Chain A
Amino acid sequence: MNEQSPRKLTINILRYDPHVKGDKPHVDTFEIEEAPGMTLFIVLNDIREHHDASLKFDFVCRAGICGSCGMLINGRPGLACSTLTSKLPDVINLAPLPVFELIGDLSVYNGKWMRGMNERLETWIHQKEKEMRDINRIEEPMDPDLSEEIYELDRCIECGCCVAGCGTLQMNENFVGAVGLNKIARYRLDPRDEREDADYYELIGDEDGVFGCMTLLGCEDVCPKKLPLQSKIAYLRRQMVKIGLTKDIHKCDCLEHDEEY
């Protein structure tokens, strides 16, 4: 960044407060002098503290870890906290993530959407025997490579960027989104989860699930964690097709020796 002559940034923010009667969506413009190392977190807080105290937006960790601050940054979903202004042009347009219920201005209720998705896909470890292993005893071993592979998919922060960047979701609000399909891929990989492909087929084997994806790749393009969303969706789709074509969907032996993506 050029320290001699700081840039003047023009920040256009799409404003709307559903709690204020008669409020209409409009754009407010703020002029900010750029500072070294400035992120959109700093910009928005500066605006709130010095220009407009009513501006609504969400940050929690401000370090790219928690996924709270997803918004449209010049039309593209991303995390505002880890976006340096130096990587953006002089004019910065900010808008709330689409798809999610609006709380106000840049703040959306994506927690509600995510909770619904998690409940729908039952994103927890399913074990047939309810009784847990004795926690005083040595734990079940797991292959070190496998645990790392699971973690690779477990890194999703549910920020909603993939949902906002998804063409299918614009047309079908019931679509489970890349975030949900990634969860299924994660649990499918995990031997602790005893659900089988037939069980997953029940959850995602339709147009609201894995067959709804139009492979526009928006999700993977905007994922701040760079998760391999598209290859996982493609892989799941192949597996679900096999299950769908099998009459006896309870157990499919052919999957046992399937190539791993």
Chain B
Amino acid sequence: MRIIYTDVLVVGGGLAGLRVATGVQERGHRTIVLTLVPPKRSHSAAAQGGMQASLGNCAMGWGDNEDIHFEDTVKGSDWGADQEVVRMFVNTAPKAIRQLTQYGVPWNRVRKGKHEAIINAEKVVIEEREEAHGLITARDFGGTKKWRTCYTSDGTGHSMLYAMDNKAHEESVKIHERMEAVSIIHRHGRCYGVVARNLMTGEIIAYIAKATTIATGGYGRIYEVSTNAIICQGTGQAIALESGIATLGNMEAVQFHPTAIVPVGILTTEGCRGDGGILRDVDGYRFMPDYESEKKELASRDVVSRRMIEHIRKGKGVPSRYGDHLWLDITILGREHIEKNLREVKDICENFLGIDPAVDWIPVRPTQHYSMGGIRTKHTGESQTLKGLYACGEAACWDLHGFNRLGGNSVSETVVSGMLVAEYISDFCDSPQSHIGISTGAIEEFVRIEEEKIRRLLNNEGGEDAYVLRRAMEKIMMEKVGIFRNGKDLADAVEQLEQLHIRSKNISVFRSKSYAANPALVVAYRTQKMIKVALTVAYGALLRTESRGAHAREDYPMRDDVNWLKRTITSWPDPEQTLPTVTYEPIDIMNMELPPGWRGYGKKNIIENPDSAIQQAKIDAIRNELIKKGASRFDIQKALMPFEHLLPERYRGRNERLYERFDEPKENHE
């Protein structure tokens, strides 16, 4: 048995994992990244649209700041988010993007003077300031008051990931490729690393570390059709769940993206609509203004997705052999714009549909896209219940997104959370609490259990076919735990998934017996894990009898702030359980900087909590008094909900903008 020791172990080599790794390495801790695929192949590469950061350089972003980004994000979350975490995030995002600039990301830049743009399907002329020329520009995205989404054409995730991976090379971070974490090693409520399986040789290895970080992305592949890369199978969440100690948060919060192409589910970026693209129905009619008069195609994703399905249900979908769809029309943007700023979209249309999006409309349908839920952590990224285990990025629920994530906030979160969590981990590693107190005997026991599981799968004859179970799970999730949910379907889904879970204990790998690189074996053990994750989603959705963000119950259409202003916490304490254990964590209105209200788009279906008005009155009083005294926006914010003390010291500073200069620029030029 091989044991590899390191200071910090990072599971997952996407943007979040790499940013944690470089961060802790810079602080002097040896780091190993375990990754299924070369880091540059991670799903982060697929993020096309951009990264939200309130730089406010471009004309349509002018005046933007942390306060507006905060408000947009909290409203987008349908008040599910942890508002302190949102504050930490919006304050760090401008720093993150400026740091990435130094790592080499070729962000699109502001060009001074007039340029044409399409807003609300009409050509308008925007004039950019001379002083902003060459600074990072931004595009429009759903649910934001300002143009805040910074981008590199439509390859933002790609260029960020490459810059980040290159930085990891520079920092000599060790990357162990094609290495899959299959269980968490822990004792007495403390995590000591993982058992990993080498996907090329089949070797089982124990990785032992002071701190372990899970940054494995989302769990979209439990659904039949998903925009996610095929490696986004939720195995990071699953091994946390299987520890029996770590908990998952808000697993039922699953986002559907409005515009994935039909049938394959590949994404066309929200930038298509941000840049002026519109949605049309079977008659070629632009229907979104009828539903959302103010934000139209650019209401938040959950809202647009539901409106599309509503419209299809009215018989206005375009029939096809793969079911009804709608059209995304970007022809109005013109060929030049598409070939420059939306080239990935153009390639996808050509390669997978055989159409030219400068001429033809794109067939689209809402499709599973993002996992708001994940490993529940504190604001530091550390598991609330398993010490030494950290999570960040989409894999985690430190709760930035609540029940709906805004476009452009996810790649932003990967890097921001990576920066912050790296600091907390480094502090932990510098403290005596991080001592590794586990014997090799105990480690060996964890390895033995995993080896035994593999042996059983390979030796089991006549059992279940993993592919059959997996396809059944995907179908149940798609049909019964989708965009619109109801009690009956969800109850069916839970019951059927529970049966699949029981059957999955008897999976056979009966067509390929190799211990080494063996895709059949991989499908077998991942399917067991995925079904558990699917159960946490379906069961959480069944129990949550309200509609909030992406979680929409037809039988409970109201957002219920009286009974459901709380996070779903899921665990699996006993491996013999056939259903997860669900508890709740209250979200306290009286600590909110922005008490629950209407989001400004979508239906106004809210069961109001009386505390909301009380807290709002309190906040209004404080604000009015401070404004009278001439207080700055920073002073007011601090009085309402202080957060700076939560941030690592090096990231507490304010962000400079053209209209919020730190000092007279004269000084710098001398």
State the A residues within 8 Å of B (CB). Answer: 17, 19-20, 36-37, 39, 48-49, 52-56, 58-68, 82, 84, 103-104, 107, 109-112, 114-115, 118-119, 122-125, 127, 132-133, 135-144, 147-148, 150-151, 154-155, 157-158, 190, 192-193
Closest Cβ of chain B to A34, distance in Å, is 15
Inter-chain contact A64/B351, CB cutoff 8 Å = yes
Nearest 5 interchain pairs by C-beta: A141-B134, A111-B38, A54-B512, A53-B520, A19-B516
Inter-chain contact A155/B155, CB cutoff 8 Å = yes
Known: A53-B519, A103-B517. A148 touches B108 (CB 8 A): yes
Known: A60-B230, A115-B38. A133 touches B352 (CB 8 A): no
State the B residues within 8 Å of A (CB). Answer: 37-38, 40-43, 45-46, 55, 95-99, 101-104, 106-111, 133-137, 152-153, 155, 158-159, 162, 165-167, 169-170, 175, 177-178, 200-202, 229-231, 263-264, 266-267, 321, 340, 344, 347-348, 351-354, 467, 509, 511-512, 514, 516-520, 523, 653-658, 662
Q: How far is the CA of A122 from the CA of B658 in the complex (A)?
A: 35
Closest Cβ of chain A to B473, distance in Å, is 15
Chain B residues within an 8 Å CB radius of A65: 45-46, 158, 344
Q: Tell me the nearest residue of chain B to A148, going by C-beta.
A: B108
Chain A residues within an 8 Å CB radius of B158: 65, 154-155, 157
Chain A residues within an 8 Å CB radius of B110: 144
Inter-chain contact B167/A124, CB cutoff 8 Å = yes
Inter-chain contact B520/A82, CB cutoff 8 Å = no
Chain B residues within an 8 Å CB radius of A62: 229-230, 264, 266
Q: How far is the CA of A146 from the CA of B330 in the complex (A)?
A: 26
Chain A residues within an 8 Å CB radius of B99: 132, 135
Chain B residues within an 8 Å CB radius of A19: 201-202, 514, 516-517
Chain A residues within an 8 Å CB radius of B514: 17, 19-20, 54
Known: A84-B351, A144-B134. A61 touches B511 (CB 8 A): no
Inter-chain contact B95/A37, CB cutoff 8 Å = no
- What would be 15 A-B contacts, judged by CB atoms less than 8 Å apart? A37-B352, A53-B519, A59-B230, A65-B46, A107-B517, A115-B175, A124-B103, A124-B170, A127-B102, A135-B99, A140-B101, A147-B107, A151-B152, A154-B106, A154-B158
Most buried by A among B136, B169, B517: B517
Inter-chain contact B95/A136, CB cutoff 8 Å = yes
Chain B residues within an 8 Å CB radius of A55: 519
Chain B residues within an 8 Å CB radius of A150: 106
Chain B residues within an 8 Å CB radius of A39: 264, 352
Closest Cβ of chain B to A5, distance in Å, is 16
Q: Tell me the nearest residue of chain A to B262, going by C-beta.
A: A37
Of B97, B169, B653, the residue contacting A123 (CB under 8 A) is B169
Of A112, A135, A138, A139, the residue contacting B177 (CB under 8 A) is A112
Closest Cβ of chain A to B458, distance in Å, is 12
Chain B residues within an 8 Å CB radius of A61: 41, 43, 45-46, 229-230
Inter-chain contact A64/B347, CB cutoff 8 Å = yes
15 other A-B residue contacts (CB within 8 Å) besides A124-B166, A133-B102: A17-B517, A53-B519, A60-B43, A66-B41, A82-B352, A110-B38, A114-B38, A115-B175, A124-B169, A133-B98, A135-B99, A136-B95, A136-B656, A147-B106, A190-B104
